[in-house]
Chain A
Amino acid sequence: MTTILEIDTVTKRFGGLTAVDNVSLSIEPGGIVGLIGPNGAGKTTLFSLISGFERPSLGRIIFRGDDISDLAPDRRAALGIARTFQIVQPFARLSVAENITVGAHLRHRSRAEAIAKAREISARLGLCAMIDKPASSLTVAGRKRLELARALATEPVLLLLDEVLAGLNPSEMRDILPVIRTIREGGVTVIMVEHVMQAVMNLCERVIVLNQGRLIADGSPREVTRDRRVVEAYLGQGAAARLEAEHA
C-alpha cells in the first residue's frame, strides 16, 4: 500500500451549497502537498472532512487503508491525523506549556512524559521563552506557532496546516518555513492550505487546486501555475488567453 490518504469521490453539501464536489485524490506518504484555490473553493471544508469535523455527504475517506469516513475527530487524531485551524483556537487561559501538554497527552498518559514531550516540541518551535505565559498573551505569530506545536505534540502521521502563514510578516514567515521543512524531514506527511504562493512554490512537491468545490489541477507547482484553468479560476474567464497574448 503506497498511499497514506485517499479521498474517494467525496462530496459535501451544506443545504443547497456544494462545498466539495466529487473530489478524488490520493496522497503518498512523506511529502508536502499544497492545497490552493480562490476563496470559497472548499479547501477548509476538505480539511474538515479529512479531520472528521464534517462527514462527507457522499464518498469515502481512506486513511492507511481503513475507511475513516464515520470516525469522530478525536478518533482520527488518535490514528495520526492532526490539524491546525485557520482561525487559531488556543486554550486562551492556559499557559503555552499547558496548551502543548494537552496534545502530548494523546500518546503519553503520564503527566511527566507529556510535559517532557511538550518541552521538547516547544524547543523545536522556538516557544521556550514564553512557555509559562498564557496563550492569550501571544502575538499572532506566537499563536500560529502554538497551534502548530499543539498539533505536532500529538505525534501525527499526517498533518493538515490551514493557512499557518496568514497574518505573518515576511520575517516571521522566513522563520517558520524551515520549521515546516523539518516536520517533513521527521517523516510526517503535510498537506497545507496556503495563499502565500511563494511559500507554496518553495515548500511543496505537489500542488492540488480546488475551485468551487471541484479539483481542477494536480501536479508540480510549475505545472499547476501554468494551467489555464488555474489562472482563470483566480483571474477570471479569458484571463489565460489575455496573458498568453501579452507574452506573445
Chain B
Amino acid sequence: MSAPRAFAPILMILALGAALPFVTSSNIILNGMVTTLIVALAGYGWNLLGGYGGQFSFGHAAFFGTGAYACALLQQRCGVNAWVAFASAITIGGGVGFIIGYLSFRSGLRGSYFALVTLAFAEVFRIVVNASSFFNGAAGVLLELDARPGNFQFASRAAYYEVALGLVGVALLSTRALERSRLGAYLVAVRENENAAKALGVDTLKTKLQAISLSAAFTAAAGAFYVQYFLFINPELGFGASISIEALLAPIIGGLGTAFGPLVGAVALHELGELTQWLLGSLPGADMALFGVFLVLIIAFARGGILGLLSRLGRGVHGMAGEVMP
C-alpha cells in the first residue's frame, strides 16, 4: 500500500471527527464521545501489544492507573505544569510497561501465564495505592479546578473532545506507521511464530519490550487524559478490572491487530452501552454483561471483529480494515 493510500483514510476520518462539535453542541453527546475516545486510546495501547504482538494482557489497568496517578500527583504534590505532568505521565507509564515487560518476557512468560502476571501486577498496584497514604488511599486524588488551556483544563467539552480526538489521531497514525515499519513486521512475526522469528534474526525480547513500552505509554496517556477530564482518580477507577477489560474489548470487538479496530470497537461498545441503558434502564452491570456476551460471540463467529465482518461483506472497505486477521 502506498503512503497516501495508507494514511489518507485516517486523516479524512479525523477531519470528519473534528467537525462534530460544529454539528452538535450537546454536552451529553460530546461527553459520551470523550469517554469513548478515552477507551479507544487505552485500546490502541492494548492493540499494539495484544493485536500486533499476540501478547494478551489482562492488566492494562496497571498502565492506565499509573498514567492517571502520575499526572495527578505531579501537579498536586510537585506543582508541575499540567502539560508537563501529562507528558511525564506518559513516559512513566511507558517505563512501568518496560519494567513489567522485562520481568515477564525475560522469564519467558506467554499465553495464559502472561495474562495472569499482568492481571496480578494491576491488582498489586491497586492494593498498594489503596493502602498507601502517599497516594491518598481509597479516597483518591482530586485535582483543583482551574480551567485554563495552559493548565490542560478546558471550559468547554468541545475543546476536551478535540484534544481527545487529537490523541486518538496520534495513536491511529502511529499504529499505521508501525504496520509499515520493521518493528511492526518483527512484532507480527513474533505473534505468528517466535522460533521462526528468532531464526530470521529477530531479537524477540527486544521486540516485545519495545511493543509493551509503547503500548503502556498509549494506555497511560488515556489515564492521564482521564484525570484531566474528570479531575478525579481513585484506585478502583485507575487500577480496577473494568479498564483492563475495556482496553482489550475495544480492539477485539473492532478488529484485532488493525489500525481502526480500537476506535471502531470503542464506538461500538459505547453504542451498545447506550442501547442497554435505553432498553433496560440503568441496571448496574447490565452493559458489562452484554459486552461479555459480545466478546464470546465475536470470538466464536467473527475473529476479525467488526472490521473483519465488514471486509468479508464487501472487499471495498479493505483499505480501511488493513490487515484483518482471518
Q: Which A residues are closer than 8 A to B by beta carbons?
A: 51, 53, 72-75, 77-78, 82-83, 85, 89-94, 98, 101-103, 105-106, 109, 111, 114, 134, 150-151, 153-154
Give the chain B neighbours of A98 by CB distance below 8 A: 185, 188
Give the chain A neighbours of B289 by CB distance below 8 A: none
> Given the interface contacts A85-B196, A93-B326, A134-B326, does A78 sit within 8 Å of B201 by beta carbon?
yes
**18 further A-B pairs in the complex, CB-CB below 8 A; given A85-B195, A101-B185, A106-B201:** A73-B199, A74-B200, A74-B202, A74-B203, A77-B198, A77-B199, A83-B199, A85-B196, A89-B195, A91-B193, A93-B192, A102-B186, A102-B200, A103-B201, A105-B186, A106-B200, A114-B185, A154-B200
Which one of A91, A109, A114 has the highest number of Cβ atoms from chain B below 10 Å of its Cβ?
Answer: A91
Interface: B197 (CB within 8 A): yes
A77: which of B182, B189, B192, B201 is its contact (CB, 8 Å)?
Answer: B201
Interface: B204 (CB within 8 A): yes
Q: Determine whether the beta carbon of A82 is less than 8 Å from that of B199.
A: yes
Give the chain B neighbours of A114 by CB distance below 8 A: 182, 185
Q: Determine whether the beta carbon of B188 is less than 8 Å from that of A91.
A: yes
CB within 8 Å of A: which B191-216 residues = 192-193, 195-204
Q: Determine whether the beta carbon of A90 is less than 8 Å from that of B196.
A: yes
Q: Determine whether the beta carbon of A105 is less than 8 Å from that of B198.
A: no
Rounded to whole Å, the gap between the CB of A47 and the closest CB of chain B is: 10
**Closest 8 A-B residue pairs measured CB to CB?**
A77-B201, A91-B192, A89-B196, A106-B201, A73-B198, A103-B200, A102-B189, A105-B182
> Given the interface contacts A102-B185, A114-B182, A134-B326, does A89 sit within 8 Å of B198 by beta carbon?
no
Give the chain A neighbours of B197 by CB distance below 8 A: 91, 102
Rounded to whole Å, the gap between the CB of B92 and the closest CB of chain A is: 29
Q: How far is the CA of A101 from the CA of B201 in the complex (A)?
A: 12
Interface: B282 (CB within 8 A): no
Q: How far is the CA of A142 from the CA of B198 in the complex (A)?
A: 22
Give the chain A neighbours of B198 by CB distance below 8 A: 53, 72-74, 77
Give the chain A neighbours of B201 by CB distance below 8 A: 74, 77-78, 103, 106, 154
Give the chain B neighbours of A101 by CB distance below 8 A: 185
Interface: B81 (CB within 8 A): no
Interface: B87 (CB within 8 A): no
Q: Determine whether the beta carbon of B193 is less than 8 Å from that of A111.
A: no
Give the chain B neighbours of A150 by CB distance below 8 A: 196, 200
Rounded to whole Å, the gap between the CB of B252 and the closest CB of chain A is: 16
CB within 8 Å of A: which B270-326 residues = 325-326
Number of interface residues, chain B, beta carbon within 8 A: 21
A-B contacts, 24 listed (Cβ < 8 Å): A51-B199, A53-B195, A72-B198, A73-B199, A77-B198, A77-B200, A78-B201, A89-B193, A89-B196, A90-B196, A91-B193, A91-B197, A92-B192, A93-B325, A94-B188, A94-B189, A102-B185, A102-B188, A106-B201, A111-B181, A111-B182, A114-B185, A134-B326, A153-B200
Rounded to whole Å, the gap between the CB of A114 and the closest CB of chain B is: 7
Give the chain A neighbours of B185 by CB distance below 8 A: 98, 101-102, 105, 111, 114
Interface: B106 (CB within 8 A): no
Give the chain A neighbours of B202 by CB distance below 8 A: 74, 102
Q: Determine whether the beta carbon of A91 is less than 8 Å from that of B189.
A: yes
> Given the interface contacts A89-B195, A93-B326, does A111 sit within 8 Å of B200 by beta carbon?
no
Rounded to whole Å, the gap between the CB of B320 and the closest CB of chain A is: 18
Give the chain B neighbours of A102 by CB distance below 8 A: 185-186, 188-189, 197, 200, 202
Give the chain B neighbours of A83 by CB distance below 8 A: 199
Residue of B nearest to A101 (CB): B185
CB within 8 Å of A: which B164-198 residues = 180-182, 185-186, 188-189, 192-193, 195-198
Residue of A nearest to B193 (CB): A89
Give the chain A neighbours of B192 by CB distance below 8 A: 90-94
Q: How far is the CA of A85 from the CA of B189 in the complex (A)?
A: 16
Give the chain A neighbours of B199 by CB distance below 8 A: 51, 53, 73, 77, 82-83, 85, 89, 151
Q: Determine whether the beta carbon of A109 is less than 8 Å from that of B193.
A: no
Give the chain A neighbours of B182 by CB distance below 8 A: 105, 109, 111, 114
Which one of B182, B200, B325 has the highest number of Cβ atoms from chain A below 10 Å of its Cβ?
Answer: B200
Q: How far is the CA of A151 from the CA of B200 in the complex (A)?
A: 7
Give the chain B neighbours of A90 by CB distance below 8 A: 192-193, 196
Residue of B nearest to A89 (CB): B196
Give the chain B neighbours of A74 by CB distance below 8 A: 198, 200-204
CB within 8 Å of A: which B69-120 residues = none
A91: which of B180, B196, B204 is its contact (CB, 8 Å)?
Answer: B196
Residue of B nearest to A79 (CB): B201
Q: How far is the CA of A74 from the CA of B189 in the complex (A)?
A: 13
Give the chain B neighbours of A134 by CB distance below 8 A: 326
Q: How far is the CA of A13 from the CA of B108 in the complex (A)?
A: 22
Q: How far is the CA of A73 from the CA of B198 in the complex (A)?
A: 6
Rounded to whole Å, the gap between the CB of A220 and the closest CB of chain B is: 30
Residue of A nearest to B326 (CB): A93
Q: How far is the CA of A91 from the CA of B203 in the complex (A)?
A: 16
Rounded to whole Å, the gap between the CB of B123 and the closest CB of chain A is: 33
Q: How far is the CA of A20 from the CA of B247 in the complex (A)?
A: 48
Q: How far is the CA of A82 from the CA of B200 in the complex (A)?
A: 7
Rounded to whole Å, the gap between the CB of A120 and the closest CB of chain B is: 17
Residue of A nearest to B182 (CB): A105
